[in-house]
Amino acid sequence: MTGGFRWLLPLLIVSCVMVIVLETRAVVTGKMSVLDRLYFGVTGAAGKGLHSIRGFFTRKVAEKEALGEATRLKERVQALERMVVLLEDQAMENQKLRALLELQTRQEWKGIAASLIGRDPGNWFREVVIDKGFAQGVRQDLPVVTGEGLVGRTVQVSGSFSRVMLIMDPGNAVPAQVLETRSLGIAYGTGVAVEMKYIEHDAFIREGDTVITSGLGAIYPKGLLIGKITQVTRKEHALFKSAMVKPYVNFWQLEQALVLAR
């Protein structure tokens, strides 16, 4: 070891303890630490620069693909317009029936658009950082979605940044429901996928069924798309079934999201 390193050892120990204390405190309090705010201030600016360079090249490719997709989308729009008419009719009927039963209307959500400015650098935890925080109305434990489906929930919030735990994170558990059979379960993250557990053993669920949020619990509203079942598992003598779920959201290309605030 060269002489220049000797004085670094006490500094390294102190810096390590400081980082651990600050980050642990951040996890416990739910607020991002000073180091996080400083770090993501830098990465936010650098990330935007890198994204704009990438955006230039992806725009060139996207222009070529857009022309072919336009025709396909026109046909899909026509089909969806027909479906909208049908759904509006059903919504009106639903409203009348609710009024008859004097049910409370569901709480309205406000969407806060956010951009991703960072991700967890490892492969174990699936978290991202967005560029909205307390100042923009974001709070802890708010659901985060995209047009494709559920992304996760906010876990740490600072003035201008927030951490979002993705549904694939091993620490995340989402009360879920299979749309076709109405079977309830819990969707757990496994790090690389989502597994729905505690599905009743005689539920007739199949590959291809859609999984949505069930609305149970205080965080996720009912009806948010989670993913599609790709494999059903039931061990002999087990009380429950489980199913592997492929999320609708493409997390590897995620750039923008919407935070749902009450």
Binding residues for other proteins, rule CB under 8 A, total 42
153 is a contact residue toward other proteins (CB under 8 A)? no
CA angle 9–15–18, rounded 5-degree value: 145
* 249 part of the interface to other proteins, by CB under 8 A: no
Any contact of residue 1 with other proteins (CB under 8 A)?
A: yes
Tell me if 11 contacts other proteins by CB under 8 A: no
Q: Are 19 and 11 in contact (CB under 8 A)?
A: no
68 is an interface residue for other proteins by CB under 8 A: no
Q: Which is nearer to other proteins, 6 or 74 (CB)?
A: 6
39 versus 134: smaller Cβ distance to other proteins: 39
Minimal distance in Å, beta carbon 46 to other proteins?
6
Q: Does 62 bind other proteins (CB under 8 A)?
A: no
Burial (CB count <10 Å: 0-12, 13-18, 19+), residue 54: exposed
> Closest by alpha carbon to 161, among 262, 22, 28, 39?
39
Contact between 159 and other proteins per CB under 8 A = no
Q: Which is nearer to other proteins, 38 or 73 (CB)?
A: 38
The 10 Å CB-count burial string (b at 16+, else e) for 197-231 is eebeeebebeeebbbbbbeeeebbbeebbbbbbee
Query: Which is nearest to 114 in space by CA: 129, 93, 98?
Result: 129
What is the x/- site pattern for other proteins, positions 19-48, by CB under 8 A? xx--xx-xx-----x-xx--x--xx--xx-
d(CA 33, CA 215): 32
User: What are the backbone dihedrals phi and psi of residue 112, each rounded to the nearest 5 degrees, phi first?
Assistant: -115, 110
Site for other proteins in 75-134 (CB under 8 A): 117-125, 127
Interface with other proteins by CB under 8 A: which residues?
1, 4-5, 8, 12, 15-16, 19-20, 23-24, 26-27, 33, 35-36, 39, 42-43, 46-47, 50-51, 54, 117-125, 127, 170-171, 190-193, 252-253
